[in-house]
Every structure is written in structure tokens, then in C-alpha cells.
């Protein structure tokens, strides 16, 4: 007997229900994709046409001027460079410290485990708040230093719990085998345990990298020096505060021309700044589920 | 020496031996995390004292004048208090009401797609907005809704949505669902993939319709996850993020866009009113903790004693 597809086995009512469901899902996908395509196309349109008519597929109205102007701006590149440095350093420090701390916390024989757990978990729900933290950073002389945005968030209790749960799912024989060889904790951790934790390391790294790359609050309050600002702050002045970086539009004669050009530059800025993550993330997709699963199991 | 103290001593001795033998676990593995926690989490908790003082940076936290609950009563009795509290609560409660079911619905629908290839492609699209930054998202929203933007071009109107207090909440919540619902569905999709396929087949053979299948097979598979997610979101209702609200604020939509988090920032760091700002922040944190405990209790009662 030929096996029928799952859809064919549904009753008429179920089929109708499913079709409605699929249409809803389709609409959601369209609602995501259409704005993105609009932005991509709009970034190539001549500024006057864009303001009066929106996008067009009359290619005589297309231009690369927005990209030339944005990419030739030094502040954008400084922002990119800083964002890469901050995100890479933050990801490395954060994942290392979190994976390290999760190891003793995962061991049933670890003395003081309950005590340390309470110490950590309290900070998930209660904290000093904005001003006391700001005063601390200021007293530590960390204002305008990259460590002000890296250290305070480097240890994430939530990620530690996820890593701990992951360790606990690893068979105990691995450790027994290592003990026979007389390996000490460090050797066991780096040589034997970490290599079997690649999925969770990849997941946490992705979260931390994306989190740092996309945030702006800490940088806004702690970094005033424009040479130290990450990309998101540069974007903020262009996209939110309507203040294109100097030189981007200053050669235009009239205010109207400048306003039109500033609007066009926003589209190109969005594309240029979002491209790196949007291109990278599909390569990590296989780790999403494993990481989330590890997190959904209560530790 | 009584036997109980002897036992205690022996226990202490064992602990010391353990710590000496396993010093690496404490010094190399735990210490970095513990140090960061104490410095950047616990020391600021001590700084909360300035909420009860007339803080003077020169005199320091311990030397400043003590004023008790003055800042709290000033905040609670100010006419803006109810407005900020209301904005914060409305934004997160309505955000949750609209936003919470969408990822679950998406997961159910994704789970019914037979072709693995199509499912993967749809997921790739659904997850994409999660990787756009808050600034870029708010930038997109502002461009699309501006007077000369595509939405007005499409409608043939000239409405400045970003200056309308009554539009702010819809903009905030809808863009949040647009960005986060796909990503939020992952956790449910993963839980659904754990549902027993045999059970599913059995339900289909028994002639169960989709609602009956969901009730018998799929809902039990994700119920625990839904509850945890619900507690976490409900408990965090007061800690709605600063970043997005601030990036969507304009001078004219303040009536609904000024929330406690943005107010704390402005009062504290822009106006330099450290003590007052800390008091407002503390008020927020305490309400949040109370809500979390309450929600956890309620859910635990409904769920036969199983909370977080």
C-alpha cells in the first residue's frame, strides 16, 4: 500500500484549519521579508525619487551614492572596528568565565555548591540599579574604558545554569576514565570536557556576541570618547537622532537636498551595519536548538 | 567533648581536606565568576543606600546626609508617578498579552510542516529579525512611519505616527512581535520535537482531529516550557527594557513612551539627581521581585505545587 502524505490523511475540517494556519504563517514570513527587500532596494534609489515616489524599478533612477558616502565615512569604520573588538573580547571572556564556573557548580561533591548557588541566583532578581553601578564604574576609573562595558556583564548566571545542565548530561564515565590517568582538574576540563561541549560553547558564544554587537546602553553611558564608540552608537546618531556624521551630506546646497540625502543614507547604513550578522547567523543555525534545549531543562 | 561537636569537627575537617585537595575548583574555576559577581553585583547593592540619603559625591556614600524615605515619597506623590508606572505596566502587560501566544502558535504551525527543507527555510526567515539591533529596528520603524516614509506613501496620507502618544504602544508591541516571535518559537519547536512520535501516530490512527491531537500529544510536550516562560516573563514585567523605549521616544510621544527605566536614566545621569534616581530604580526592582514571587506562587498552585 502506498503511504499517503500526512496532509492527505487529515479530515476536511482539519485541512481547512491547516490551510488557514499556513496562510497565517505565510503572512508572517511575508511581513518579515517585504520590509527587508524594501530597504535593500530603497538604498539604491536616487534621493529625490525616493522621497516623492518611494522605490522604483526604473534603473535609471538607481545610484550607488549612498554606499559611497557611508563607506567613505571614517566614523562608521571606527564604530565597526570597536564593535568587533568589544564583541570578540566580551564573548571570549564571558564564555570562558561562565564555562569555568559552571564546572564546579555541576559537581554533586562540590563543597559549598548550595551556598554559591544562592549567591549567584540572588543577582538574577535583585541588583543595585543604574546609579550605584555607574558610581562604582566611575570610582574604579573605568569610564571611557572598554572594560566598563565588558566586565559587569561578563558572568551570566543564566548561561552558567545552562552550561551546568549541559555538563550534567555528559556521562560520568568520561571523568572516571580521566581519573584513572591521574589527570588533574585543569587537564580534564580543557582536554576532555570542553571538547565535548562544542554545541553549548557555540550557542553561548553566539548569544554573547550578538548581545554585545547589538546593545548600546552601556556604551552610551560609559564611553563618551567618539574614538571608542561602537557601531550602534554611530548608528544611533544617524538613524535615531537624525544627525548624519559630518561630511556625509555637508556638500549639498539646500536643506531639502540634505534632508533627502540623509534619508537615503539611513537605508544604506541599515544594510551595511546589519549585513555581517545576517550573513553569519545561518551558519550557526544548527546550534540554536541544542542550546535552547539545554536551557529549557531545569538545572 | 560531646559527640555532636565531634561530628561537627569531623565534618569541618572533611570540608577543609576537600577544599585543600580540590583548591583548583575554587581558585581557578569559581573565583573569576565570584569576583565579578561580588564587585559588579553586590557592591552596587550597597550603593542603594544613597536612595535614602541626600547623596553628595564629595562626602561619599557613608558621609552623606540621611533623609530616610523622602525620595520615595517625592516620587510616589508626584503627578508623574502614576503615568510612568502605568506606561511601564501597560507596555509590558499588553506586550505579553499579544506577544506571548505568537511563538507558541508559530511552533505548532512549524511542527505541522512535513517538508524538512521548507521548514528550515521558513525558520531561517523567522529568526532573521532577531539579529537586527534595537537601534536598527527602531531606525527602520522611524523611517517606515515617517511623514515621507513608505507607509504614508502607500496610504496616500501624511501622518506622523512617531509623534502620536496613542500610536506608541502599538508600534512598540508590533515591532517587538515582528522581531522576537520567530526566535521565541525555537524553545517550543525544540520541546515539540521531543513529543513521542508513536503517540502522535497512535492519535492519528485513532482518528483524532487536530485539536484532539494537540490536546493529547503536543500540549503535554510543551506545557512545562510554556509555564516556565510565562513565569519568567510575568516576573519581569517591571524590568521592561530601556533600550527600545528610549530609541522610539520622541518629544511628542512622551505621554505614553516615558517608562520608569527611561525616567531613571534621565533623572540620574542627565539631571545628576543620583539619590532620587536610585530610589525610583529600587522601587522598580522591589515591585519586580514581589511580582516574580507572586506569579511563581500562583502558577505553582495551579500546577499542583510545581513552580520554578
> CB–CB of B243 and A285 under 8 A?
no
Give residue-wise pLDDT tens across range A252-296: 878 888 888 998 999 999 999 999 999 988 888 777 766 666 555
Give residue-wise pLDDT tens across range B25-47: 999 999 999 999 999 999 999 99
pLDDT at A1 over 50: no
Chain A residues with CB under 8 Å of B120 CB are: 285
Chain B residues with CB under 8 Å of A238 CB are: 139
pLDDT for the residue A3: 53
- Residue A251, min C-alpha distance to chain B (Å): 23
| Cβ(A62)–Cβ(A122) below 8 Å | no
ipTM metric: 0.90
pLDDT for the residue A299: 34
| A250/B222 Cα distance (integer angstroms) | 56
Domain coordinates in residue numbering, chain B: 3-66, 72-302
Residue of chain A whose Cα is closest to the Cα of B261: A130
Domain coordinates in residue numbering, chain A: 7-66, 68-296
Interface membership of A76 toward B (CB under 8 Å): no
CATH architecture of A68-296: Orthogonal Bundle (1.10)
pLDDT at A6 over 80: no
Give residue-wise pLDDT tens across range B144-153: 999 988 999 8
CATH superfamily, region B72-302: MetI-like (1.10.3720.10)
| A4/A7 Cα distance (integer angstroms) | 8
| Percentage, residues of chain A above pLDDT 70 | 93
Q: Which of the residue ranges A22-36, A91-105, B247-261, B280-294 would you say has the lowest mean pLDDT?
A: B280-294
pLDDT for the residue A290: 62
- Residue A21, min C-alpha distance to chain B (Å): 6
pLDDT at B304 over 70: no
Interface membership of B21 toward A (CB under 8 Å): no
pLDDT for the residue B164: 95
pLDDT at A297 over 70: no
pLDDT at B61 over 50: yes
Interface membership of B41 toward A (CB under 8 Å): yes
- Mean pLDDT of all residues in chain B? 89
In total, chain A counts a number of residues equal to 299
> CB–CB of B288 and A125 under 8 A?
yes
Chain B residues with CB under 8 Å of A285 CB are: 120, 123-124, 127
pLDDT at B203 over 80: no
Interface membership of B103 toward A (CB under 8 Å): no
Give residue-wise pLDDT tens across range A87-104: 999 999 999 999 999 999
- Note the helical H segments in chain B: 3-21, 23-24, 31-37, 43-46, 60-63, 70-77, 79-99, 101-111, 116-127, 134-145, 150-155, 165-192, 197-205, 210-213, 219-235, 242-248, 254-257, 260-265, 274-302
Residues 33-62 of A with CB under 8 A from B: 33, 35-36, 38-39, 42, 51, 53-55
Average pLDDT over residues A228-236: 95
Nearest to B52 by CA among B70, B74, B36, B39: B70
For residues B175, B179, B180 and B181, what is the CA-based torsion angle, rounded to 10 degrees? 80
> CB–CB of A25 and B124 under 8 A?
no
> Sorting pLDDT into bands at 50, 70 and 90, what band is B305?
low
Provide the β-strand partners of residue B53. B66
Chain A residues with CB under 8 Å of B272 CB are: none
Nearest to A214 by CA among A286, A278, A299, A145: A278
> Sorting pLDDT into bands at 50, 70 and 90, what band is A50?
confident
Three cell numbers, residue A107 = 559537581
> Sorting pLDDT into bands at 50, 70 and 90, what band is B7?
low
Give residue-wise pLDDT tens across range B69-81: 999 999 999 989 9
Average pLDDT over residues B150-166: 92
Radius of gyration over alpha carbons of chain A, in Å? 25
Provide the β-strand partners of residue B66. B53
| A297/A293 Cα distance (integer angstroms) | 7
Q: State the count of interchain CB pairs (< 8 A) between A and B.
A: 259
- The number of angstroms, rounded, from the C-alpha of A126 to the middle of its chain's C-alpha atoms is 24
Three cell numbers, residue A153 = 556583564
pLDDT at A2 over 70: no
Q: Which of the residue ranges A23-37, A52-66, B115-129 would you say has the lowest mean pLDDT?
A: A52-66
- Residue B33, min C-alpha distance to chain A (Å): 6
pLDDT for the residue B85: 93
Residue of chain B whose Cα is closest to the Cα of A126: B285
| Cβ(A145)–Cβ(A273) below 8 Å | no
Average pLDDT over residues B167-188: 94
pLDDT at B16 over 90: no
| Cβ(A149)–Cβ(A222) below 8 Å | yes
The string of DSSP codes covering B69-123 is: THHHHHHHHSHHHHHHHHHHHHHHHHHHHHHTHHHHHHHHHHHT---HHHHHHHH
Q: In which residue are the cell numbers 534621493 written?
A: A47
Amino acid at each position: 500500500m502506498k503511504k499517503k502524505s500526512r496532509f492527505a490523511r487529515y479530515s476536511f475540517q482539519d485541512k481547512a484549519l491547516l490551510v488557514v494556519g499556513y496562510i497565517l504563517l505565510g503572512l508572517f514570513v511575508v511581513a518579515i521579508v517585504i520590509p527587508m527587500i524594501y530597504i535593500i532596494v530603497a538604498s539604491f534609489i536616487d534621493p529625490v525619487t525616493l522621497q516623492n515616489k518611494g522605490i522604483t524599478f526604473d534603473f535609471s533612477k538607481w545610484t550607488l551614492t549612498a554606499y559611497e558616502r557611508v563607506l567613505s565615512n571614517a566614523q562608521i569604520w571606527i564604530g565597526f572596528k570597536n564593535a568587533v573588538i568589544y564583541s570578540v573580547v566580551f564573548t571570549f571572556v564571558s564564555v570562558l568565565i561562565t564555562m569555568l564556573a559552571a564546572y564546579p557548580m555541576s559537581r554533586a561533591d562540590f563543597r559549598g555548591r548550595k551556598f554559591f548557588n544562592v549567591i549567584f541566583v540572588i543577582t538574577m532578581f535583585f541588583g543595585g540599579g543604574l546609579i550605584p553601578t555607574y558610581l562604582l564604574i566611575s570610582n574604579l576609573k573605568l569610564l571611557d574604558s572598554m572594560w566598563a562595558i565588558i566586565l559587569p556583564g561578563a558572568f551570566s548566571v543564566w548561561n552558567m545554569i545552562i552550561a551546568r545542565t549541559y555538563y550534567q548530561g555528559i556521562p560520568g564515565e568520561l571523568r572516571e576514565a580521566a581519573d584513572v590517568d591521574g589527570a588533574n582538574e585543569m587537564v580534564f576540563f580543557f582536554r576532555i570536557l570542553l571538547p565535548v561541549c562544542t554545541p553549548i560553547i557555540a550557542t553561548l558564544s553566539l548569544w554573547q556576541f550578538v548581545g554585545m554587537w547589538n546593545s548600546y546602553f552601556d556604551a552610551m553611558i560609559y564611553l563618551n570618547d567618539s574614538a571608542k564608540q561602537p557601531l550602534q552608537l554611530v548608528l544611533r546618531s544617524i538613524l535615531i537622532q537624525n544627525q548624519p556624521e559630518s561630511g556625509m551630506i555637508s556638500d549639498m546646497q539646500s536643506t531639502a537636498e540634505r534632508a533627502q540625502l540623509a534619508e537615503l543614507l539611513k537605508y544604506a547604513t541599515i544594510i551595511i551595519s546589519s549585513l555581517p550578522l545576517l550573513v553569519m547567523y545561518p551558519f550557526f543555525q544548527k546550534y540554536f536548538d541544542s542550546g535552547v534545549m539545554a536551557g529549557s531543562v531545569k538545572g | 567533648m560531646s559527640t555532636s561537636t565531634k561530628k561537627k569537627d569531623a565534618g569541618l575537617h572533611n570540608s577543609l581536606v576537600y577544599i585543600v585537595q580540590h583548591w583548583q575548583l575554587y581558585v581557578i574555576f569559581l573565583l573569576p565568576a565570584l569576583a565579578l559577581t561580588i564587585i559588579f553585583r553586590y557592591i552596587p547593592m550597597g550603593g542603594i543606600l544613597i536612595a535614602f540619603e541626600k547623596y553628595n559625591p564629595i562626602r561619599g556614600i557613608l558621609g552623606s546626609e540621611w533623609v530616610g524615605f523622602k525620595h520615595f515619597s517625592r516620587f510616589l506623590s508626584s503627578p508623574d508617578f502614576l503615568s510612568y508606572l502605568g506606561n511601564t505596566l501597560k507596555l509590558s502587560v499588553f506586550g505579553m498579552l499579544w506577544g506571548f501566544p505568537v511563538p507558541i502558535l508559530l511552533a505548532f504551525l512549524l511542527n505541522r510542516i512535513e517538508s524538512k527543507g521548507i521548514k528550515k527555510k521558513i525558520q531561517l526567515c523567522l529568526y532573521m529579525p532577531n539579529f537586527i539591533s534595537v537601534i536598527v529596528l527602531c531606525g527602520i520603524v522611524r523611517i517606515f512611519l515617517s511623514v515621507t516614509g513608505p507607509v504614508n506613501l502607500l496610504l496616500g496620507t501624511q501622518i506622523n505616527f512617531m509623534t502620536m502618544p496613542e500610536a506608541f504602544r502599538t508600534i512598540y508591541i508590533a515591532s517587538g512581535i515582528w522581531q522576537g516571535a520567530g526566535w521565541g518559537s525555537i524553545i517550543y519547536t525544540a520541546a515539540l520535537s521531543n513529543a513521542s512520535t508513536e503517540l502522535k501516530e497512535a492519535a492519528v490512527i485513532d482518528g483524532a482531529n487536530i485539536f484532539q491531537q494537540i490536546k493529547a500529544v503536543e500540549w503535554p510536550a510543551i506545557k512545562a516550557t510554556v509555564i516556565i516562560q510565562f513565569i519568567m516573563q510575568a516576573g519581569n514585567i517591571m524590568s521592561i527594557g530601556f533600550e527600545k523605549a528610549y530609541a522610539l521616544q520622541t518629544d511628542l510621544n512622551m505621554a505614553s513612551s516615558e517608562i520608569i527605566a527611561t525616567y531613571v536614566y534621565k533623572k540620574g545621569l542627565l539631571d545628576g539627581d543620583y539619590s532620587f534616581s536610585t530610589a525610583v530604580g529600587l522601587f522598580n526592582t522591589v515591585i519586580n521581585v514581589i511580582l516574580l514571587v507572586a506569579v511563581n506562587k500562583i502558577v505553582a498552585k495551579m500546577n499542583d505545587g510545581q513552580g520554578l
